[in-house]
Amino acid sequence: MRRMADSAEWRCAAADLAPGRTLKFRLDCGGRRLNGFVVNHDGEVRAWVNRCPHVGTPLDLWPNEFYTDDGRDLICSTHGAIFEPLTGHCTVGPCAGDALRALPLRREGDALVVSCP
């Protein structure tokens, strides 16, 4: 399993991402570093760029803390913007109407694999 290593692809065991959990990673996309995270929301897994569409800051002020207190939505710790975990759509805050940038995610056997866009 690879974690936080710079590579064009990141993978982890699907079992390491239980419902309600997130994992961070970095990709090296053509010489450009891209920080991202995967989220398992009620058994559905998505990968997002860790960048708020409002001003470009990472969503997690505290490492790997992306969920609101009630665990229903994702939150930008800088501005309090709220995002739907499965669509990335911003529903509340200064970026309402915008969305998180999705990353390609696939399953290979028991592994989740995220690659550069």
Q: How far is CA 95 from CA 24, 31, 39, in A?
A: 22, 28, 20
Q: What mean pLDDT is predicted for residues 39-43?
A: 96
Domain count, the chain: 1
The domain that holds 21 is classified in CATH as 2.102.10.10
pLDDT at 4: 47
CA distance 35 to 69: 23
pLDDT for position 2: 43
Task: Check pLDDT > 90 for residue 6.
Answer: no
Is residue 28 one of the residues assigned to a domain? yes
Q: Which residue has the higher pLDDT, 11 or 2?
A: 11
Is 37 contained in some domain? yes
**Domain range enclosing 101:** 9-115
Angstrom distance (rounded) from CA 28 to CA 17 = 22
Residue among 35, 44, 46 nearest 7 (CA): 35
pLDDT(3) > 50: no
Q: Tell me the per-residue pLDDT of 105-117, one tens digit each, with 9 for 90 and over.
A: 999 999 999 999 8
